[in-house]
Amino acid sequence: MLRSLTGAAMFAAASLPALPASSQPASPAAAESIHERAERLRDEALGNDTLAWDITEGLTTEIGPRLAGTEAEARARAWAVGSLRALGFSNVRIETFDMAVWVRGEERAEIVSPFPQPLVVTALGNSGATPASGITAEVVGFETIEALEAVPDSAVRGKIVFVSHAMAPTQDGSGYGYFGRARREGPSIASRKGAAAIVIRSIGTDYHRNPHTGVQTWAEGVRPIPAGALSIPDSEQLQRILRRPFPVRMRLVLTPRNIGTRQSGNVFAEVPGRDPSAGIVLVACHLDSWDLGTGAVDDAAGCGIVAAAAHRIMRAGTPLRTIRIVWFGAEEVGLFGGYDYLRRHSGDNHAAIAESDFGADRIWRFDSRLNPAARPAVDRIARLLFPLGIVAGSVTEASGSDIGPLSASGVPTIALRQDGTRYFDLHHSPDDTLDKVDLTQLRQNVAAWTAMLAVAADMPGEFGPVPARQ
Ligand code: ZN
Ligand code: ZN
């Protein structure tokens, strides 16, 4: 712990003097208008931000993978507290909560017959375990989750179900909701039908021999079975093998374990505002990651982006509203941090909330869900974002991962949407590492968040309330 705190303090001390003189604290009474100041802060971020990179590099290098509830996530929290304090934020603290923790074990798959060969597999979150020696069974393949749902139980009983549902890349990532059903619901459907195990084609869009993990939660009363994801090349290999007129047998070894209740937590830092009655602007990301890569695009970069933008506003003078940064814990495994925040803070006066959790590529669209009376603020933010190549999107739909439950309750929400075209090449795979983060695109993110915050934290008037979602 001492070592990580020392490292954090070192990077923070090194990054502070790099900011230009014009970012030094200014009097809020300066003649510059909110719009002019937002333009200046935006352009400075675009030109020279290093803080988002330093946080992303520091977290992925000094901590690495940080699965929720493990000792690695605890080290990440200590690192976060040290870093955010060293950067000069106020009220830096951790709110802890308990959760059940699942950890990965051995994972191997092989075709036993007719064409013996190994396949690359990883366990999905909360997967059941095989015996140490594995299970061997016939494979029955389905091209969609609906096709699996449609067959009688007798078609899959005692077999290894394989779902090869293929997701295509999209800019807004909207295919994930539909195709992700194979991961989120496939295991429970297969178990209900009496399958011995399930393997799915990874919910990804790359052609590397990397499997993509991700959470799935057993439906009420369903018996956990081994549940894994094959890499996409291995998935297509298995599809070709299944097209031959022979029964296909697979041996599967997955030995994850439930290790009981452990602690996770949300890390807070604030820029106190001039007027406590003006409310809080919450900017969020998640600190935990899956265990296969180092969680660079999911979601160290998000933490770097929101903290770097808040830091720029802080150094430009005391904002009207309080900016609250939350680096959420335990997002990947079921939004535990988001629900803990909702439980404790739903009564706080949130003026607006926003989260960065869709990688590190450039922002292309600005969505919001604010009260119609807040239209002047929406229009001002849109004008500030146009020069960054960001289009104005929905004014009625915006959400986020950890902030989703709070957003659904009717809290005004802003979404700066990143280009997701290559996000699912990396998502939850061993390939989610720092080298995938592009500094120029990361700076564009910080510039957009800085411009948004310069308005949201300083423009007088209300952003809410908005109707709650059902
Ligand atoms: Zn994420
Ligand atoms: Zn994720």
Domains of the chain: 3-101+260-456 (3.40.630.10), 105-255 (3.50.30.30)
C-alpha of residue 427 to centroid of ligand 1, in Å:
8
Listed residues: CB within 5 A of ion ligand 1? 298-299, 357
C-alpha of residue 401 to centroid of ligand 1, in Å:
7
The whole-model pTM stands at 0.93
Q: Cα torsion at 188, 190, 191, 195 (round to 10°)? A: -170
C-alpha of residue 94 to centroid of ligand 1, in Å:
20
Q: Which residues contact 122 (CB under 8 A, 6 or more apart)?
A: 104, 107, 211, 212, 213, 228, 229, 292
Ligand whose nearest atom lies closest to the CA of 337: 1
C-alpha of residue 332 to centroid of ligand 2, in Å:
5
C-alpha of residue 359 to centroid of ligand 2, in Å:
9
C-alpha of residue 298 to centroid of ligand 1, in Å:
5
C-alpha of residue 305 to centroid of ligand 1, in Å:
14
Q: Are 271 and 408 in contact (CB under 8 A)?
A: no
C-alpha of residue 302 to centroid of ligand 1, in Å:
9
For each of the chain's 470 residues, which pLDDT tens digit applies? 333 433 444 444 334 333 343 444 444 445 689 999 999 999 999 999 999 999 999 999 999 999 999 999 999 999 999 999 999 999 999 999 999 999 999 999 999 999 999 999 999 999 999 999 999 999 999 999 999 999 999 999 999 999 999 999 999 999 999 999 999 999 999 999 999 999 999 999 999 999 999 999 999 999 999 999 999 999 999 999 999 999 999 999 999 999 999 999 999 999 999 999 999 999 999 999 999 999 999 999 999 999 999 999 999 999 999 999 999 999 999 999 999 999 999 999 999 999 999 999 999 999 999 999 999 999 999 999 999 999 999 999 999 999 999 999 999 999 999 999 999 999 999 999 999 999 999 999 999 999 999 999 999 888 887 888 86
C-alpha of residue 331 to centroid of ligand 1, in Å:
7
C-alpha of residue 332 to centroid of ligand 1, in Å:
6
Task: Tell me what pLDDT residue 470 has.
Answer: 67
C-alpha of residue 60 to centroid of ligand 1, in Å:
14
C-alpha of residue 32 to centroid of ligand 1, in Å:
37
C-alpha of residue 174 to centroid of ligand 2, in Å:
15
Q: Are 446 and 49 in contact (CB under 8 A)?
A: yes
Q: Which CA distances in Å does 216 have to 6, 121, 192, 439?
A: 37, 16, 15, 33
C-alpha of residue 65 to centroid of ligand 2, in Å:
12
Ligand whose nearest atom lies closest to the CA of 402: 1
Task: Tell me what pLDDT residue 31 has.
Answer: 67
Q: Which residues contact 177 (CB under 8 A, 6 or more apart)?
A: none
Show the CA angle centred on residue 125, arms to residues 119 and 131, nearest 5°: 60
C-alpha of residue 192 to centroid of ligand 2, in Å:
27
C-alpha of residue 355 to centroid of ligand 2, in Å:
13
Ligand whose nearest atom lies closest to the CA of 418: 1
C-alpha of residue 121 to centroid of ligand 1, in Å:
21
C-alpha of residue 42 to centroid of ligand 2, in Å:
28
Distance from CA of residue 181 to its chain's centroid?
Answer: 18
C-alpha of residue 428 to centroid of ligand 1, in Å:
9
Q: Which residues contact 91 (CB under 8 A, 6 or more apart)?
A: 268, 269, 270, 272
C-alpha of residue 246 to centroid of ligand 1, in Å:
41
Task: Tell me what pLDDT residue 461 has.
Answer: 86
